[in-house]
Amino acid sequence: MVDVTNKQTMVRTAVATGKISVNQEVYQAIEHGTVEKGDVLGVAATAGIMAAKKTSELISMCHILSLSNCRIQFERDSEKREIYCTCTVKTAAKTGVEMEALTGVSIALLTIYDMCKALDKHMVIEEIYLLNKTGGKTDFNYSESHKNEK
């Protein structure tokens, strides 16, 4: 574990994203609220928030952080049958919340998979990555860091 004793407490944010691709049956079931296990996106949002709060219990070298905010949002693309998840986390601490945002997205998407696996065993979770972070020594923005690669 990194010693953050001498670091300054400051407001830190992180935003992570990812997606899950599903078949038409799953997409429609989520859209119409007919998945047997319940409200898929509502349960997934709750699971993502709970996971972000417990990141230090899941990832051994993470610091225990008190989160001041955590939000899970979903966007759907009916043509591609994809559900995009974004997790935004905020705290005032001596270390960042990147792992909490990434954990929130991961668990939210895994929850969708779990709730829908009876309908589709070929769902694909992919493209989980950090969009941006603020606070600490350096800020990070995925779009800015990848401008020259395209």
How many residues appear in the chain? 150
Catalytic-role residue among 3, 39, 114, 139: 114
* DSSP for residue 149: G
Q: How far is CA 18 from CA 53, 64, 124, in A?
A: 18, 24, 11
Residue 6 CB: number of other CB atoms within 10 A? 6
Residue 19 CB: number of other CB atoms within 10 A? 21
114 in catalytic set: yes
Question: Which residues have a catalytic role annotated?
Answer: 114
